Structure 1
Amino acid sequence: MTEQEKSSAVVDETRESVETTPQPVNTEKKSKNGAALVLSAVAIAIALAAGIGLYGWGKQQATAQTETSDALATHLTALQKAQESQKAELEGIIKKQAAQLDDANRQQAALAKQLDEVQQKVATISGSDAKTWLLAQADFLVKLAGRKLWSDQDVTTAAALLKSADASLADMNDPSLITARRAITDDIASLSSVAQIDYDGIILKLNQLSNQIDNLRLADNDTDGSPMDSDSSELSSSLSEWRVNLQKSWQNFMDSFITIRRRDDTAVPLLAPNQDVYLRENIRSRLLVAAQAVPRHQEETYRQALDNVSTWVRAYYDTDDAATKAFLE
């Protein structure tokens, strides 16, 4: 074999080797494209998962709020029914008391008629029977005073009747009646020491408070406290205070991201406008219960009703408002 043929053979083998050898450049490009596709798929999957999660969370929150609103509406409906029941019960009590008052008035009229009849009979008897008439009158006045005291809780009228009875016994000028007069005088002193309570004034005050409920202002949480740190942050023009200026600049930068405010007061529960109507009506209902408890001398019911009113007003209304302060006083 000649050198020319050997050279041709070497060239052919080199060409075949070049053609059969894989190209690394194209393989590397394909690997990069595959990795990019995988990363894109992962990013899309993460975005879809986050979107689905946010949608599910929002739907769950909406469902919870709907259930809370339904429960609150049910509770308010129950309160309204209870209020209507209490109102009907109170109306029945008022009618019953009115009937009792009519009976008491009729009894008093009958007693007054009996007194007139006694006076007419006494007017027909002789002067020697005057002491008997005075004694009967004193006895009648004492019994009437007891009736006024125990039935009507009228201390003032009872004391006046006892004084009239004592005057009748004094007109008899009989030493044997000293013991009876002493007992009557002791009763008058005991009644004088009893504190005079203006029940009618208390009822009128409760009615006035009921009329003032619409003037109360609901509490809100929109008040914004001042920042806790309010030191001066002005920069100095002196180069020697560069450290202080740097610290103030850093502080100003941080204040734009983080602000600490004082929240010492307890958060006041808020009410929707439609719930405010039920709250005001419930307060009026409790004031009505307190007013009805006054003439019946039901101190526990009276105090409990006023405690409920005070608790609701302090919880749901602005206690700093002048109208609320006047209402609580």
Structure 2
Amino acid sequence: MMPDNDTPPLQSPAPEPLSARRSGRFGLGLAVAVAALALAGWQWFETRQKLNDLQQEVTRQLGDFDTGHKEERGAQKLTREQLEILQAKLGAFENRFAEFQAQTEALKALNQDIARGREEATLLEVEQAITLAGQQLQLAGNVPVAVLALQTADARLARLDRPAHLPLRKALAKDLERLNALPFVDMPGVSLRLEQLIHGVDKLPLTAYGRPVEKKEARKEAAPVAPWWQNAGGEIWQELKGLVRIQRFDREDPALLAPGQDYFLRENLKLRLLNARLALFSRDQWTYRNELKVAQEWLGKYFDTNDKAVASAQSTLRQMSAAEINVELPNLNDTQAALRGLRQGRDKR
């Protein structure tokens, strides 16, 4: 809207003086400077506070870090100490384990030595048993003892239970089967019977002398029980009866012996029986039967066959003459060869 013309125009204020304007600008600049200074001081103070706080925080964190570092170093030290203790224990355990292994190896070696020693001792016993069996067969012809020796050797091998001993056990089984299949000859029994006959020869009555002497001696010992006059009469009567002797012979005349020849007869009969016993051990069938035949002839010719002892001796001699003693005995070559093979195998190892 345009102003009225009647209204007088506004007059601009009169310009202020130059000094006033300068002082106002100076005051304004001073205020701005003070404000800026105050602002800068406040900012500096605030920054200082933040720096202090930051320094305290850093100091605290450094302290915490130092504390944590110390604790960590303590933990590390403790860990190192525990690790050293564990290493020491581990070293001691390794040493003990090494000692235990050494002792175990020593025990194994000792057990092996003991086992080898036991096996060696057993094989030595087996070898001795086989040797004894061979000697009994070849020298004495004693089959039962040989069988017992071989059975003992097989039992010793069975206790070891080693596969390497199977060939020897098979050879032993074959030899035992062959020995058990042989006819039985009771050589010890025959030998004992011959020995009894030898000891009884002195008690057998002779045909030429009638009653044995020991019966006459028994009557003399029984005589002193009676009164003296009866004993004297009995002795006179015995002397009178000795002047005349009457005998009855229902067979051919007995062989007469010169005085004192009965001793040599009995000793020769003993020698015949001893020869038969030696022939038995050597398995000489012809000599054995021939000696027993001569002994039977002498018993029938010179001794009283009506006596029970003489008849029993003749019967025993007939039974022994019928026995077969010349049995072909097997050898133990297979068993001995298997034993040598086992020995050679052990020596090579």
Could you tell me the TM-score, scaled by structure 1's length?
Answer: 0.40
Instruction: Indicate the structure whose relative CO is greater, using CA pairs within 8 Å and at least 6 residues apart.
Output: 2
Could you tell me the TM-score, scaled by structure 2's length?
Answer: 0.38
- Structure of higher CA gyration radius: 2
